[in-house]
């Protein structure tokens, strides 16, 4: 009755690529935030949170949901709740990045990972709650627990790479691993879901936006956003002109 790959493997593949790109750019922005001070640091943190929380996690979820179908049950999305789930992912990731970059010690790193992981899980299940369907969705607690473990592990790893890895090649490897972890968390939660049809199914579809109407502006906006962020990285804005903290300390 439930099909997670109604369009074949291109939806998980596209979702994975999007997660990798968002993770790579977000990790590079986190490096800039770690070395910056003043207003510039807040800018890099905001961009990093938007790329990691908004693209690598939230957008990956909804691109993967393009392939999700329930036989005989049309699906619609609550637009407001969908947007709130994205804001949750970005906001929680911003808090986690702020904590981890302010005090790059293991306790703060672990705390930031727990916060970010909780935000990832909250985003996923809020996104699932935004689905309107004539019936009831059920989540297996074992799969929910496994998704939580994967989310916290992935978020902690991302923060560690953000604080300790400088070379772009290492950031790419970290982004590839992040894409695997985020995808694994998403599909772990999805495979633990079951559906019970309503006793009396109305002839009209449930309220809300259908998947193409919701995702077309989302994908278009993300494409423009990632292009702008990629331009920032290609120009290496601030990285070469702004002295690093360690350099300033040595000069002092």
Q: Mind listing the pLDDT tens digit for each residue in 30-69?
A: 888 888 877 888 888 999 999 999 999 998 998 898 889 9
Query: What is the C-alpha to C-alpha distance for residues 224 and 221, in angstroms, rounded to an integer?
Result: 5
What mean pLDDT is reported for the chain? Answer: 85
Q: What is the pLDDT of residue 100?
A: 83
Please enumerate in sequence order all residues whose Cβ is within 8 A of that of 113, keeping only pairs 6 or more positions apart, or say none.
96, 152, 153, 155, 156, 157, 159
The residue extents of the domains of the chain are 10-199+210-251
DSSP state of 57: I
Share of the chain above pLDDT 90, in %: 39
DSSP state of 204: S
Query: What is the C-alpha to C-alpha distance for residues 155 and 176, in angstroms, rounded to an integer?
Result: 14
Closest CA to 233 of 49, 25, 47, 44: 25
Query: What is the C-alpha to C-alpha distance for residues 39 and 43, in angstroms, rounded to an integer?
Result: 7
Q: Mind listing the pLDDT tens digit for each residue in 209-226?
A: 887 787 778 777 877 888
pLDDT at residue 4 above 80?
Answer: yes
- Confidence band (pLDDT; 50, 70, 90) for 236? low
């Amino acid at each position: 009755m439930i099909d997670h790959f109604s369009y074949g493997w291109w939806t998980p593949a596209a979702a994975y690529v999007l997660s990798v790109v968002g993770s790579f750019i977000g990790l590079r922005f986190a490096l800039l935030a770690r070395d910056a001070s003043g207003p510039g640091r807040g800018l890099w943190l905001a961009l990093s949170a938007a790329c990691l929380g908004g693209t690598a996690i939230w957008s990956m979820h909804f691109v993967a949901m393009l392939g999700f179908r329930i036989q005989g049950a049309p699906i619609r999305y609550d637009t407001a709740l969908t947007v709130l789930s994205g804001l949750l992912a970005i906001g929680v990731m911003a808090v986690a990045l702020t904590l981890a970059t302010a005090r790059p010690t293991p306790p703060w790193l672990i705390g930031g990972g727990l916060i970010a992981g909780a935000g990832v899980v909250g985003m996923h299940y809020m996104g699932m709650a935004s689905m309107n369907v004539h019936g009831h969705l059920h989540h297996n607690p074992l799969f929910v627990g496994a998704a939580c473990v994967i989310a916290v592990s992935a978020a902690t790893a991302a923060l560690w790479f953000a604080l300790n890895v400088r070379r772009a090649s290492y950031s790419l490897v970290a982004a590839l691993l992040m894409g695997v972890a985020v995808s694994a968390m998403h599909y772990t939660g999805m495979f633990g879901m079951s559906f019970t049809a309503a006793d009396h199914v109305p002839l009209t579809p449930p309220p809300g936006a259908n998947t193409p109407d919701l995702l077309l502006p989302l994908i278009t906006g993300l494409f423009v956003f990632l292009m702008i962020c990629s331009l920032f990285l290609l120009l290496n804005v601030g990285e070469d002109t702004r002295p690093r903290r360690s350099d300033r300390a040595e000069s002092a």
